Structure 1
Amino acid sequence: MSTEPSGRPRSRRALKALKVLAVLVAAWLVIDKAVAIASPAPQVGHWRSQEGYASYRAAYDAAMADLPEPTRTHDVPTEFGTVRVYEWAADGGGDKGNGLLPVVFVPGISSGAPMWGDNLPSWIGDRTLYAMDAIGDSGMSTQSVPFDSFADQAEWVEQMLAGLDIDRAHMVGHSFGGAVAANHALDHPGRVASLTLLEPVVVLEALPASMYLWSSLLILPAPQSWKDRALAEIGGTTLEEVRERTPMSVMVDEGAGHYVSPTLVPRTLTDDEWRSMEMPVRVDIAAEKSLAGGEEAAKRARGLGMDPVTVWPETTHSLPMQAAEDLGPELEEYWSTHDG
């Protein structure tokens, strides 16, 4: 099944988010690869300086101020470090009382829990929601042990869920977080009631070569005007939107400048691996400047039996923000269908 929703005018907040998502993916495409070449040994994500962390923390707090107030904040220990998780509890006593499973959101690179600010208001209430900052990424989580492979990303997610006493949950991942969520579902299927992948990078289709070419400008001594153009091309937006400053974009810029992330590149999963996942899987793809693979990724997902597979008109890699109004009720209905 393929769904083609009618396009909606982009909200002002969604337009501002375009630069943010462009920066996130661009940094992962090229900057992390350059670090891997220069320092191939496994490393732990860390702040370059206390001053840099303080500058980032101020920007992070400003971005978090745009989110609804969490019910609880958790710092969950795992063998790789501590995961900062924010919880928005269900009304009236929690999930076990109303039969609705919780939802866990896995963020894209450098965006952490604040990236879901446009989406959370649609879902807070009936079921408990969890959003975290990833280990090995800028945010309030900390890494203490290096990753040996991308599979370790799935493992810290699994240990986080166990630490929160979450037996089963609906898992939602965007961009790099979509790749992490897909690998977690592959390795730990019993924990996943359903899997929602929003513009997941690499796991369905390889990234387009043009993204590597545009991204290379971000680490070369090129004029800022060229770098702004590259970000616009990657994000599918305009130069004016790239140059806007928002709490979220400031946070991302501070993270990119002050945090050193370990390099871990996901791989494209095989047909057999996808077919081995018994939980329901839905895929949401951007129609413009998709980094998930666009129509080719959608075609492959349909062929593998994923349902629904939705290509969203007038959206780019910033899909969760751009389609927030429609995704709200649609995903709630999807989760309700698979609560059993």
Structure 2
Amino acid sequence: MKLSGFANEKARQRYHDTYDELLDWPLPCDDITVETSFGPTYVRRSGTGTGEPLVLLHGLASTSLVWQRFVADIGRDHVLYAVDSMGEAGRSVQTKPIPDEQANADWLGEVLEGLGHEKYHLVGISRGGWLALNQAIRSPERVARVTGLDPGGFVPSLNKGRLYLFIGLMTMLAPEFLRRRIKRDSKLAIFADPLLRRLVLAGLGFQMRFFILSYFSDDEVRRIAVPTRVVLGTKSPVEPVADVAARLARLTSHVEVVPADLHHGLGFLEPAFLREQVSASEQLLP
């Protein structure tokens, strides 16, 4: 299996220049490199709170930068670790194949161990939510709880997801006068978000070669034993809320499903809403 990486040095420099231009972290922060067997993983540490440390896991092709609108709010109560996921464009560098679900859990487990805390609250959006749930299923030793924001994995929708991403890329490539017509309550509005659009287009010179996500089987869902809050957007194309809620209620008592009148993506969340979801997750009993 080949490794993810930039096509050439020019593509890498173009992406990193864009990344640096978009970086506007509102809190004092430290750059951390956690050495793992899959390659060096970049983590941005910030926040001063004394609550459970939060590990922030971004969605596909968006990097840790998508959290910068939220960290001032949640950083009052927690130390935050925003990760650039391995295998994607960003500041982490893949040196070993990530061929399956277990490899993803092994990589993230090494990151959590390297950060030095005993337990973490994993907060993930979209694929980041899948990473958090996958960790709770396969390597839960350092997972205190999970907050998943419209995560994938509960219904077999890979082909539908690929179509959604293709339409999104076409939206990003559309002329500006067409993108301006996209209403904020449209499911395509996420692809008109300036930060996400610039990251994705700058990353077209990056080839992703890693296992992205999978559909969790009934047995895997039953293995979730940490307090977990799953927030599902009722306007999102990713997961049908009623079907997911019914399935989880049948399989586990450890997962709370929360419907929200939202589309897919962090761009539709207000910082106060995210803080409320994190706080509510911390009230869930083991």
TM more than 0.5: yes
Structure 1 pair 332–245 and aligned structure 2 pair: CA distance change class (3 A) = closer
Aligned to 2:222: 275
Structure 1 pair 279–214 and aligned structure 2 pair: CA distance change class (3 A) = closer
Aligned to 1:62: 21
Structure 1 pair 302–246 and aligned structure 2 pair: CA distance change class (3 A) = same
Q: Aligned to 1:133, which of 58, 63, 84? A: 84
Alpha-carbon distance in 2 for matches of 1:335, 1:85: 23
Aligned to 1:287: 234
Aligned to 1:205: 155
Alpha-carbon distance in 1 for matches of 2:264, 2:31: 29
1:96-245 matches, within 5 Å, as 100-201=51-152, 203-207=153-157, 210-213=160-163, 236-237=186-187, 241=189, 244=192
Aligned to 1:26: none
Matched length: 278
Structure 2 stretches of 5 or more lacking a match?
none
Aligned to 1:254: 202
Q: Percent identity?
A: 22
Structure 1 pair 272–211 and aligned structure 2 pair: CA distance change class (3 A) = closer
Structure 1's consecutive aligned runs of 4 or more residues displaced over 4 angstroms after TM superposition are: 208-220, 241-245
Structure 1 pair 322–264 and aligned structure 2 pair: CA distance change class (3 A) = same
* CA RMSD of superposed structures (Å): 2.9
Aligned to 2:29: 71
User: What is the deviation of 1:252?
Assistant: 1.8
Alpha-carbon distance in 2 for matches of 1:64, 1:316: 25
Query: SS at the partner of 1:143?
Result: coil
Letter in 1 for 2:32: H
Query: SS at the partner of 1:295?
Result: helix
Q: Higher Cα Rg: structure 1 or 2?
A: 1
Query: SS at the partner of 1:135?
Result: coil
Alpha-carbon distance in 1 for matches of 2:91, 2:10: 15
- Larger RCO: Structure 1 or Structure 2 (Cα < 8 Å, ≥ 6 residues apart)? 1
Alpha-carbon distance in 2 for matches of 1:332, 1:185: 17
Structure 1 pair 214–155 and aligned structure 2 pair: CA distance change class (3 A) = closer
Structure 1 pair 300–61 and aligned structure 2 pair: CA distance change class (3 A) = same
Q: Aligned to 2:256, which of 297, 308, 311? A: 308
Letter in 1 for 2:18: A
Q: Aligned to 1:328, which of 267, 271, 274? A: 274
Structure 1 stretches of 5 or more lacking a match?
1-41
Alpha-carbon distance in 2 for matches of 1:242, 1:73: 28
Alpha-carbon distance in 1 for matches of 2:195, 2:84: 17
Structure 1 pair 213–168 and aligned structure 2 pair: CA distance change class (3 A) = closer
User: What is the deviation of 1:322?
Assistant: 1.5
Aligned to 1:39: none
Aligned to 1:44: 3
